[in-house]
Chain A
């Protein structure tokens, strides 16, 4: 997901301009010189200026390239492919999946699915990921629901405690 500075910079210009415009549109407090509109205006302008500077490449000389620490014995090269980079979106997608279905399916089932998918995606065999998918949700449920009394959705599979 490394984008050129020009792209991120221009995106920030747009974001800053939108924020400044949005702030400008807010109604002022009657009888007062400054209201809720001032702060977004200042920030939006600042952000847009920074974005412009980034797009123009100002300040690049300060960036330190992160040193990659080579590990002895050779590191397995990550497989490269077009869709490989999209794997990074899996964790947030799973969290949104949790939001969408946890109330119907219940915590245990949803959590088991999340654990199984995450674990498999990180290279675990089913011999490891399957027991983990059963045990981890129960453990978390015990701690958060029983000990800390967080109202986790029961759904299809309520726990006996």
Chain B
């Protein structure tokens, strides 16, 4: 254990890792703070760069950039009422109300401080949960993997803030995309239409870049430019945070726990964690009437929650290759690329690398505090960068980055195509995250499904015979019929739809 820890320290104390981490932190802070550029997009655009780094440095950039971007989305939320990332949308109103009351420092300080606390809590959960789960997972067969992947996809559709039918349809579209190519049980070209470039299938990363980056540039073409941020001087940012921690320690802990649980659930990520935690905070608050008028309580809980989900989202990713959220989906791509194939054996064979990941998460969340304070102070300058200078650079990064993944122009075509698909889907209420998870998990779910069917000689019964498989199956089927039950219940009660019932 100590020996592994020492090895992990040695792994991360190289110049490459340190520089990569610092650069990615700054990058994540800047992208996260610009409205419309999400944490997922920041991470997706990083992938081509990670291609050329050592495995640990590559993971370091992902860890640092995603953690920083989730915090930094709070900045424009508090100053402009425009969330920098969707994960900050839940409490942007509240934070802005605080700014108007002259408490911008307190709001932003709470953002940075409770984000860091949440991130560290999430990391601890990763350290504590992952190894024992890996022990259990070692005995999993294809039946369990199938149900696990299925459950993951169902969770992704359940938590989407739109119609569950559309979410399931998005998931099917993603799975259909993953069918393309010759990587299937028969090794025959499937849905390639004679196009040689399609034989290798659709790479998840260009698809992600298209859906999250190109679609965003497309949306920017039709929406008016957000107003520039007013210049302002900030007082002490960390003042009063310790008092808040003591006053709201229960809210903070609850936020951490909710964030961890939502992060571990496949498909549900930081945005969902923040929404649920903010709602919880309001529901259980002693002074719910203060919510919406610039009350810090909800900020504490939701801020602690969304960052906690980032680290715990790595649990299913590392163990099963099932992404906890879209950022983890990208991380899985990078893990495969770097020969750290996700699976329970990762924790025994590559233990030092795992410890290195834990350490990097903790370091990223600690340096978030000084970096975050600097970023808050510089925010009025960074946020002045007009969209017309940022978006063209993003376009170039999309083109070059998707080309660099395979040194193949077809990657650029993929990005453009998925830009259009993502844009149209989002416009019509089809959640793109469900499609992305479908693309990432398609091959895995098909393999475990077909292998299981072959093993069982075409019978469905063995899918339910093993105890863990039966439990997972029950959960997955429960997730599938849950929306139906809610719908029936609503019909029976004839009540106006409560907003929380769909989750």
Which A positions have Cβ atoms within 8 angstroms of B? 1-3, 5, 8, 12, 15-16, 19, 22-23, 26-29, 32-40, 43-44, 46-47, 50-51, 53-54, 58-64, 69, 71, 73, 75-78, 84-85, 87-96, 98-99, 102-103, 107, 111, 114-116, 118-124, 128-129, 132-133, 136-137, 140, 144, 147-152
Chain B residues whose CB sits within 8 angstroms of the CB of A16 once the complex forms: 172
Closest B residue, CB atoms, query A123: B388
Chain B nearest CB: distance from A28 CB in Å?
A: 7
Are A38's CB and B400's CB within 8 A? no
Whether a CB of chain A sits under 8 angstroms from the CB of B48 is: yes
Are B409's CB and A102's CB within 8 A? yes
CB-based closest 4 A-B pairs: A124-B388, A59-B165, A36-B186, A122-B388
Whether a CB of chain A sits under 8 angstroms from the CB of B404 is: yes
Chain A nearest CB: distance from B121 CB in Å?
A: 29
Known: A1-B427, A47-B169, A150-B407. A36 touches B190 (CB 8 A): yes
Extra A-B contacts (10), CB below 8 Å, given A8-B428, A39-B179: A3-B427, A35-B186, A36-B187, A50-B172, A61-B487, A63-B429, A92-B417, A96-B416, A122-B388, A124-B388
Are B179's CB and A43's CB within 8 A? yes
Chain B nearest CB: distance from A93 CB in Å?
A: 8
Chain B residues whose CB sits within 8 angstroms of the CB of A63 once the complex forms: 162-163, 166, 429
**B202-231: which residues lie under 8 A (CB-CB) from chain A?**
214, 217-227
Known: A78-B223, A92-B218. A69 touches B82 (CB 8 A): yes
B51, B190, B222: the one contacting A87 at CB < 8 Å is B222
Chain B residues whose CB sits within 8 angstroms of the CB of A26 once the complex forms: 186, 188, 190
Closest B residue, CB atoms, query A84: B222
- Complex CA–CA separation, A36 to B185 (angstroms): 5
Chain A residues whose CB sits within 8 angstroms of the CB of B176 once the complex forms: 15, 19, 40, 43-44, 47
Known: A32-B454, A69-B81. A43 touches B175 (CB 8 A): yes
Are B403's CB and A150's CB within 8 A? yes
Most buried by B among A53, A77, A120: A53
Chain B residues whose CB sits within 8 angstroms of the CB of A144 once the complex forms: 48, 400-401, 404
Chain A residues whose CB sits within 8 angstroms of the CB of B351 once the complex forms: none
Chain A residues whose CB sits within 8 angstroms of the CB of B450 once the complex forms: 34-35, 38-39
Closest A residue, CB atoms, query B446: A39
**B177-210: which residues lie under 8 A (CB-CB) from chain A?**
179, 184-188, 190-191
B81, B392, B430: the one contacting A114 at CB < 8 Å is B392
B-side interface residues, number (CB < 8 Å): 86
- Complex CA–CA separation, A148 to B57 (angstroms): 14
- Complex CA–CA separation, A15 to B219 (angstroms): 25
Known: A33-B453, A60-B163, A92-B419. A118 touches B391 (CB 8 A): yes
Chain A residues whose CB sits within 8 angstroms of the CB of B401 once the complex forms: 144
Whether a CB of chain A sits under 8 angstroms from the CB of B423 is: yes
Chain B residues whose CB sits within 8 angstroms of the CB of A121 once the complex forms: 221
Chain A residues whose CB sits within 8 angstroms of the CB of B164 once the complex forms: 59, 62
Known: A95-B416, A137-B396. A71 touches B179 (CB 8 A): no
Chain A residues whose CB sits within 8 angstroms of the CB of B457 once the complex forms: 33
Closest A residue, CB atoms, query B486: A62
Q: Mark B76-93, 1 if CB is under 8 A from A, else 0.
A: 000011100000000011
Whether a CB of chain A sits under 8 angstroms from the CB of B492 is: no
Most buried by A among B48, B92, B188: B188
A8, A75, A147: the one contacting B224 at CB < 8 Å is A75
Chain A residues whose CB sits within 8 angstroms of the CB of B219 once the complex forms: 88
Chain A residues whose CB sits within 8 angstroms of the CB of B400 once the complex forms: 107, 140, 144, 150, 152
Are A114's CB and B389's CB within 8 A? no
Whether a CB of chain A sits under 8 angstroms from the CB of B300 is: no
Whether a CB of chain A sits under 8 angstroms from the CB of B343 is: no
